Structure formats: C-alpha cells, structure tokens
Amino acid sequence: MSDAPAPSARTTLRRGADRAVYERTRVLEILDAGMIAHVGVQTPDGPLVLPMAYGRDDEKLYLHGAAANHLLGTGKGHEICATVTHIDGLVIARTPFHNSMNYRSVVIRGLATKIEDPDEKLRSLKLITDHVVANWDEGREVSEIDNRKTLVLEMALEEASAKVRSGDPVDEEDDMAGPWWAGVIPVETRFGEAYAAADFTGSNEMPPQYGAVAGKTPDER
Amino acid sequence: MSDAPAPSARTTLRRGADRAVYERTRVLEILDAGMIAHVGVQTPDGPLVLPMAYGRDDEKLYLHGAAANHLLGTGKGHEICATVTHIDGLVIARTPFHNSMNYRSVVIRGLATKIEDPDEKLRSLKLITDHVVANWDEGREVSEIDNRKTLVLEMALEEASAKVRSGDPVDEEDDMAGPWWAGVIPVETRFGEAYAAADFTGSNEMPPQYGAVAGKTPDER
C-alpha cells in the first residue's frame, strides 16, 4: 500500500509486505481508534503480554497499567512491543485455507522508559486519560500523591509499522468457478449509553462528551 | 473472585489478585468469546506481539497466522504468551487517577510447538476455522497441499489465568462526597450483516449461521 521505507530493519515486515503501510498518518489513525495496547515484554519466565491503556503525542506512546508496574517499573528501560489491533470483519473464502480477517494493526517496538519528571508525567497521564473519551478536566484534580504513585512508561513512536487487510476474500483461480459461498461478516465495536455509578451522589451533570459517543465506533468518536 | 490455586507460580498474579480468577470455566468462556489472541515471543530484536487466529479444545490452544510463520515455524518450540482481551466499558471515576476499564482477559504462557502430524493438523485447523463462526464444512475441502503449507502451533491450556474487572468505579472515601460525575461508558463488539464477495458467482446459498450472528456480540453467538 506504500512505497515509503520501513523505519528500521526489524520493522520491515517479511511477510505480507504488500499490506504493510508505513505512513505515519495511518499508524496514528489506528492508534487513535484503539483503546488498549497489548504490550509484550521478556521476563525471566518467558514472554508476557498484558493489556494496557495508552495515549500519544506526535513523538511518543505513553503506557499505563497497574499490572505492568512490577514488570516495567525498574531499571533504565525495557525493550517492549506494543500492538494495537482492530478487527473489522471475518473473511470467509471459498476454502477455509484462504479464510482471513479484515483488521488494522500497529506494532511498535522500542525501549520503554519510566517517566520521572512530575510535570511530564502529569502531561502524559492527561494524554492517556483523554485518549478514548476526554475526562481529565471533569474529575477531581490528580494530587501530587496520586501522581507519585502512578507509573507511566514512554516509548518512541519511531519504530512503528501498520498492517491493514480489508475487502473480499482472495481465492485461488481454480476455486473461483466453484459453488462455495464467499464473503465477509463485518465486526464492529461501539460505545453504549453511559450510566452513573450506583453510589453517585455528586452535583455535576454527566459531561456531554460521555453521552455523545453512544452508538459510535471508536473510529467515529 | 476465586480461591482456586494458580496453576503455576508464574501464572499467579502479583497485583490485583482479588480480580484473579483461575477457574477453568471462566478461562474457557473468555477464550470462546474472543476472535484473536495477541501472541508475544522473544526475538533476537526484542519482544514481538502479533495478532493471531486461534481455536481450542479441552487441553490445548491452537494458533494460526501467516505473520508468525517466520518467528515460530522453526525449532522444537518457543516460549510464548497468548493473551485474549475483551473491553466491556470505560470506567470513569471521580478522579482520573482511579479511572479503569471493564474487561475480561486470559493470559496463557507456555511452550508453543508446531503440529507435524497431518491429521492432527487438519483437526486443529477445523477448530481454528470454526472458532468464531462455523464454516469449515461449507467451503472447498482443504487439500493435502494446503495442509502441508499451513503452520499451526499448539500450546497447553494449563498455565492460563483469567482476570476480570466489572462494575462501577472504586473511588477514595474522601472523594465520595464531591460533585464529580462517576460511571461507566459501555463498549460492545457486534457482528454485522454478512455480504457476498463482489466476485462471488457460486451456486451455494449463504450458510444460515453467517446471517444468524448479525447483531450479536461474540459472547452471544
């Protein structure tokens, strides 16, 4: 889909290179439509992949998730891989051998480091908090203590590659004249109607942006 | 959520252990509701996480995906981690520090090995193919050549752990009387109406199970 060069050797896709898109715009679009990244790290017990919330700016991905604290909170940085995938459809070919899925995914590899500077951490927390639906400015301000207790990782967006599959199944010549059905079952993720917590007693109205996403896909928000 | 012991030391969750559920039933339910696993493997270039299709039986998880061929197709087996996550909602607390997501996830760690036996491989391909919507028996039979070209990995389901978060935000005592809104924005994934490929000229009707999932969530299918 693109002739733009891969940003690094390990980011070059060895298979399906025709589906590889390196354009920055596409990478950012896929990240913006996502809600969690699956983050992989090597541990003494082997690889571990955990879901984490994220946000971004133009240069970096910011990751947050309690579960990863004990993995990534120490040392000068860890090589990680953060992958964001959207499933758009099941692709049913004339033979199961050519079944596929329509999807959009981004793979980012690089060194994740802990953000130490409190102001920088606060800025990254706002980016993560507002990534899916903006709510940073609607709640009680994050205190210095909250901020100290929170671990945020940053990694460069430099080694990011996108891979996209869309459209109909691709079958073999010999199968095209056969009787078998071929097509796509679409898959979509949508937000529902926001509801207040059972113990909510506050005076604030529900911020309008929470209701505004109802019925929308993460892409449309 | 459970007092059942973790199946191995590395599967015991060090954080959020109150949310950890080890029951096999729950693990299988979460796997059955999923469409892709994010599979992590250590490479000479660092960790890599890729989305893969999967299926299961009572003992094993079966993984298939062209992208992983070059990573996992060689040698006697690779330590991997396969993670399946469903996002059920955005949890908006009285302060962003306590924001969370409602989710269900399964983490499986273990040795992934290539299936060599052709019959066993065929059986596992049917499990993967029929995992989301049954279609193995609707298409052209998989040939011996197709089968030979396909790489399927298996891993034991033994070291699997589930983690589930549901319900309202959990805020601090001091914040409960504040004015701030707190609640949940639900997130749901649903199948759409199946459509035939533009180049479909076959005589077979669309198998009814493809239409039957329209409007359903992966859990309801």
Collapsed DSSP state (helix, strand, coil) of residue A157: coil
Closest partner CB to B197 (pick from A15, A126, A182): A182
The continuous run of DSSP H or E covering A148 comes out as: helix A144-149
Q: Do A202 and B180 touch (CB under 8 A)?
A: yes
The reported pLDDT for the residue numbered B209 is 97
The per-residue pLDDT for range B102-156, each reduced to its tens digit, is: 999 999 999 999 999 999 999 999 999 999 999 999 999 999 998 988 899 999 9
The pTM of the full predicted model, rounded to 2 decimals, is 0.91
Chain A contact for B145, CB < 8 A? no
The reported pLDDT for the residue numbered A65 is 75
Which B positions 108-127 lie with beta carbon below 8 A of chain A?
109, 125-126
Phi, psi of B183 (to 5 degrees): 175, -160
> What is the average pLDDT score of chain A?
89
Report the percentage of chain A scoring pLDDT > 90: 77
The reported pLDDT for the residue numbered A112 is 93
CA distance A36 to A16: 24
Q: Do B191 and A180 touch (CB under 8 A)?
A: no
Residue carrying the six token digits 């999932």: B213
Chain B contact for A178, CB < 8 A? yes
CA distance B174 to B168: 17
Q: Do B194 and A184 touch (CB under 8 A)?
A: yes
Q: Do B210 and A185 touch (CB under 8 A)?
A: yes
Q: Do A94 and B202 touch (CB under 8 A)?
A: yes
Residue A78, pLDDT > 60, answer: yes
Establish whether this prediction's ipTM goes over 0.85: yes
Report residue A68's pLDDT band, with 50, 70 and 90 as the boundaries. Answer: low
Collapsed DSSP state (helix, strand, coil) of residue A49: strand
How far lies B182's CA from each of A129, B93, B176, in Å? 14, 5, 10
Closest partner CB to B16 (pick from A53, A67, A200): A67
Averaged over A37-65, what is the pLDDT?
94
The reported pLDDT for the residue numbered A3 is 42
Report residue B1's pLDDT band, with 50, 70 and 90 as the boundaries. Answer: very low
CA distance A91 to A208: 37
Closest partner CB to A204 (pick from B69, B180, B206): B180
CA distance A79 to B45: 9
The reported pLDDT for the residue numbered B137 is 96
Instruction: Provide, as residue numbers in chain A, all residues whose Cβ is less than 8 Å from the Cβ of B41.
Output: 40, 47
The per-residue pLDDT for range A79-111, each reduced to its tens digit, is: 999 999 999 999 999 999 999 999 999 999 999
Report the candidate in A168, A86, A189 with the shortest Cα–Cα distance to residue B218: A189
The reported pLDDT for the residue numbered A23 is 77
Mutate to test the interface with A, among B185, B189, B209 (most CBs of A within 10 A): B185
In whole angstroms, what separates CA A31 from the centre of its chain? 5
Q: Do B83 and A15 touch (CB under 8 A)?
A: no
The per-residue pLDDT for range A142-181, each reduced to its tens digit, is: 999 989 888 999 999 999 999 999 999 999 999 999 999 9
- Domains in chain A: boundaries: 9-187, 190-221
The reported pLDDT for the residue numbered A75 is 65
Chain A contact for B173, CB < 8 A? no
User: Under CATH, domain B9-187 is a member of which superfamily?
Assistant: Electron Transport, Fmn-binding Protein; Chain A (2.30.110.10)
**Amino acid identity at A107:** V
Residue carrying the six token digits 């034991």: B156
The per-residue pLDDT for range B22-55, each reduced to its tens digit, is: 578 899 999 999 999 999 999 999 999 999 999 9
Residue B219, pLDDT > 80, answer: yes
Residue carrying the six token digits 């039979």: B141
The reported pLDDT for the residue numbered B2 is 39
Q: What angle do CA B7, B13, B17 make, to 5 degrees?
A: 110
